[in-house]
Each structure stands twice: as C-alpha cells, then as structure tokens.
C-alpha cells in the first residue's frame, strides 16, 4: 500500500509516520526541501519513506491509483498545490485534503478536480500532534466510492473508539467532512472556554493554588461525567513549572487568546443555518476580546461597581458546584454543535449520521470524552440516551450552574460561555419569548409584517405615535 503526503508540518509529518508504522510506503514532499531533509534525518529509518524534491518526482513515485494526503495551510495554499499537482496526475487519482479547509472551498475544489478526472476528499483530522501519530479521529466527506477505496488505509491509521471500531466514517457528500470538523473545532473552543471560566472561579474567588487546581482537575478526570482529554490535560498543565522563573508555567503566559479561524467559521455557519450556538460564540468573542489590547486598556477606565450579597461557599463546596457546572456546560456545548450539524445536513442533503459522528469523536480527537456516549445513544434514538441527557440537565446540577453564574457575575467575573449556556437552556425551556415586541418594532418602523397567534397569514399593525 502506498500514500503520498504533501506538507510536513506537525500534523503532516506525524500522519506520515503513522501510515509508515502500519507498513504503508510513504512518498514525501514539502515546499521547502529543508523540512523534508530534516524529516528523513529524524525518522527515515522508521519506515519506508520516499523523499521527493519536486512535485513531478513525487507524483511519479506513486503507483496508480494514487492516494495523496494534502496537509498544507487552509486557503490559497491548497489551491496553489492542487493547481501544480494535478498536472502530473491521472484520471481516478484521489487527493485527500486533510487540513482545516472551509467546507465551501472544499465543495468548489471537488467540482474543479472532477472536471480534471481527479477525486477530492475533504477530510477533517483531529487529535493534535500525538493523535496524528498514534491515531486521530478522521472525518472524510465527498464521493462515497473514493472514500470506500481509501477507508482501509484510514481505518489502519485512526484511533480506536473503545467499542471495537475505528474513529473514522464517511461523514457525507461534498463538504460534509470539513463542515463536521469545523463544528468539532467550535465545540472545542466552547469546552476550552468553559474550563477557563471554571478555572477563573476557583482561582479568583476560591483562592485555589496551582497545586490545588492540578489535583482538582485530575480528580475530575476520574469521574464518568467529566472524564475527557481537555480536563485531563488541564490538570497536567497546572503541574508544569517554568524553568527560568521556577513559577507555574501557566502563570507566565499572557492572557491573549489566538485562533486560526474555524471558531469564527462555525459562528458564521450557525448564523447562516439559523442555529443558536451561544457557548461557541462566547468562546470566539472571549479570544477576540482578550487579544484587543486597546479595547481592554480603554475598558479599565470604565466604572466597575459590584454589590456582593450571596455568601461564598467553602472551598470544597465551591469545587463541587464547579464540577456540576462544568458538566452541564459541556453537555450544552455538545448539544449546540450537534444541532448545527443537523441543521446544515438537512439543508444541504448530506444525511450526516449524528450517532456515528459522536462515536468517532470518542477516541483520538480533542473533544473526546465519556459524555459523548450519551449523544451516541441519544442520536441512535435510544431512550436511555435521551433520558440520561435530560436527567443530567435537571435537579441540583442546574441549580449549581445557576449559583456559579450568580457567584461569578456578582463578583465581576466575566463568564460568557457559562452564562450563554444557561441562557440557552432557559430560552429553550420557555413557552414564550419577548421577541414578539421585536417583531412589533420592526413592523412599526419598517412594515416588515408579523404573524398572529389567533389566525394564519401575515399582517401589518396600525401603530400610532403618542
């Protein structure tokens, strides 16, 4: 079996090593030869690698039907590589774009490649550096026949799902694979922000030390309702020391959040398909705000008044409240993401299997957690999954979420993702929402019309100014 890999950054290099470890012969090409040479120097003896200097040499090194994994930066770089690469390919060859390409770009490229006889698969890959090497979660979308041809290779490389299967499945046609990966990243943004807000509550209000935070997250990771990759690494982060200062490394990091675009794309898609994703939106905005030095400097001049009435729980009680709050926040973040995938799938005719999506996220990927079992069962239309989900949202846990949001807000802590999740829960639960007034206002100044509660049709009001 052969595979060509273009792009030897962290993910591309580790996916190449992953494939080689399964006995695959891997041809390599990188725009800068130095990176290829460095790869061979480090790993050349650990697999059957064929380093190539030119695209032409790279294409020639692969037997038909060629399978090429493209791991370059999303955007114009993908188009540039495709333009050059396709000059040396034959009808029926398969290119897998494994980067974080925007799904609309993938749909355009699938059409362009098809005109040249080339089959393009848009595949999301999640797992970070370690996952790419040891087994990621893979989300291929596009032509079903092409995906079936490469599925044995992808299955050999993918993570185990813990159920006897592999964390890879045909997501759907066209850009479905990259769309699902985009939403995966949006959920990732949300969960990371939720954890950060809980960290803020424990550190700022509870006075938790880094050692206590490390122990807390390590303990939470043993609980079925909180066990996840992101909780696990958070506990590890608080143990790391800065070699220069001797202080906790996390405390030496500037509070300036970065991003590469998939979070913003998720929010934009949510607006397009009419699906609320408040936790994801809050996470994106939190990173943007944290990076806006001028706005934050100006904001320090704003009046800031707080009036604390509610008593502060004792440290271990606060920790218990935070655990329940984080659990509900994560469940609601997943719910928002799956709702967006369903809406897009319905609108585009992709027929994405949400249960399968939850299954392949259970291993290898960044958002993997035990909580995904609930969604897998729920979207398989098992009553146990639905009942479990509804049970976890109610009772004392919901009261704990309300209390933590109240404690944080009353003490001036910004908790946008937690607050957004609570608002999402409350809005979905209400029989009536005040948007009827917004509709009335729009009809008043713009004659946009409104629907009535007592009969069908579109009406205009006879509004009078006082």
Q: Which residues are catalytic?
A: 181, 188
CA dihedral sign, ordered 75, 76, 81, 82: positive
Q: Which residues contact 355 (CB under 8 A, 6 or more apart)?
A: 375, 376, 377, 378, 379, 380
Query: Per the omega criterion (within 30 degrees of 0), is the bond before 40 cis?
Result: no
The helix (run of H) or strand (run of E) holding residue 148 is helix 144-157
CA distances from 270 to 266, 280, 337, 340 (A): 6, 10, 9, 6
Euclidean distance between CA atoms 106 and 78, whole angstroms: 10
Query: What is the side-by-side order of every strand in the sheet holding 25-29?
Result: 49-51, 25-29, 2-6, 67-70, 94-97, 119-126, 137-142
267 vs 261: CA distance, rounded Å:
10
DSSP string, 7-24: --SHHHHHHHHHHHHTT-
User: How far apart, in whole angstroms, are the C-alpha atoms of residue 311 and residue 308?
Assistant: 8
The answer to whether the beta carbons of residues 78 and 150 sit under 8 Å apart is no
Helix, strand, coil percentages, rounded to 5, for the chain = 55, 10, 35
Those residues with Cβ within 8 angstroms of residue 15's Cβ, 6 or more apart along the chain or in another chain: 5, 69, 71, 98, 125, 132, 133, 136, 157
The answer to whether the beta carbons of residues 117 and 91 sit under 8 Å apart is: yes
Query: Are the C-beta atoms of residues 117 and 175 closer than 8 Å to each other?
Result: no
Structure tokens at 271: 């607006």
Is 50 strand, coil or helix? strand
Query: Three-class SS of residue 382?
Result: coil
Residues making up the chain, counted from first to last: 466
């Amino acid at each position: 079996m052969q595979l060509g890999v273009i792009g030897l950054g962290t993910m591309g290099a580790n996916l190449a090593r992953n494939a080689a470890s399964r006995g695959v012969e891997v041809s390599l090409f990188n725009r800068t030869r130095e990176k290829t040479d460095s790869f061979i120097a480090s790993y050349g003896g650990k697999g059957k690698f064929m380093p190539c200097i030119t695209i032409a040499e790279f294409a020639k090194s692969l037997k038909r039907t060629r399978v090429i994994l493209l791991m370059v930066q999303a955007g114009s770089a993908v188009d540039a590589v495709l333009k050059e690469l396709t000059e040396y390919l034959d009808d029926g060859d398969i290119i897998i774009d494994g980067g974080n390409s925007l799904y609309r770009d993938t749909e355009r490229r699938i059409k362009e490649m098809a005109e040249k006889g080339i089959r393009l698969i848009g595949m999301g890959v999640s797992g970070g550096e370690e996952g790419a090497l040891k087994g990621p979660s893979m989300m291929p979308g596009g032509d079903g026949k092409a995906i079936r041809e490469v599925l044995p290779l992808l299955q050999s490389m993918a993570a185990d799902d813990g159920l006897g299967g592999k964390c890879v499945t045909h997501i759907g046609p066209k850009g479905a694979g990259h769309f699902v990966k985009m939403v995966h990243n949006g959920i990732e943004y949300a969960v990371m922000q939720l954890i950060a807000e809980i960290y803020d509550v424990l550190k700022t209000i509870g006075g938790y030390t880094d050692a206590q935070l490390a122990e807390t997250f390590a303990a939470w990771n043993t609980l079925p309702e909180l066990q996840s990759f992101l909780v696990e690494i958070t506990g590890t982060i608080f143990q790391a020391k800065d070699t220069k200062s001797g202080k906790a490394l996390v405390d030496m990091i500037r509070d300036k959040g970065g991003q590469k675009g998939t979070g913003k794309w998720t929010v934009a898609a949510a607006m397009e398909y009419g699906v609320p994703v408040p936790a994801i939106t809050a996470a994106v905005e939190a990173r943007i705000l944290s990076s806006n030095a001028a706005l934050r400097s100006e904001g320090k001049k704003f009046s800031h008044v707080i009036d604390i009435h509610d008593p502060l729980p004792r440290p271990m009680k606060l920790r218990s409240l935070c655990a329940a709050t984080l659990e509900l926040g994560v469940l609601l973040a997943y719910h928002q993401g799956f709702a967006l995938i369903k809406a897009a799938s319905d609108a585009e005719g992709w027929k994405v299997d949400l249960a399968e999506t939850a299954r392949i996220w259970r291993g290898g990927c960044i958002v993997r957690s035990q909580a995904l079992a609930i969604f897998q069962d729920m979207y398989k239309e098992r009553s146990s999954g639905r009942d479990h989900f509804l049970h976890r949202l109610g009772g004392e846990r919901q009261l704990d979420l309300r209390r933590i949001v109240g404690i944080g807000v009353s003490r001036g802590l910004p908790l946008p993702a937690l607050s957004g999740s609570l608002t999402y829960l409350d809005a979905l639960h209400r029989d009536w929402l005040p948007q009827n007034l917004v509709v009335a206002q729009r009809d008043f100044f713009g004659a946009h019309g409104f629907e009535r509660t007592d009969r069908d049709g579109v009406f205009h009001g006879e509004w009078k100014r006082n």
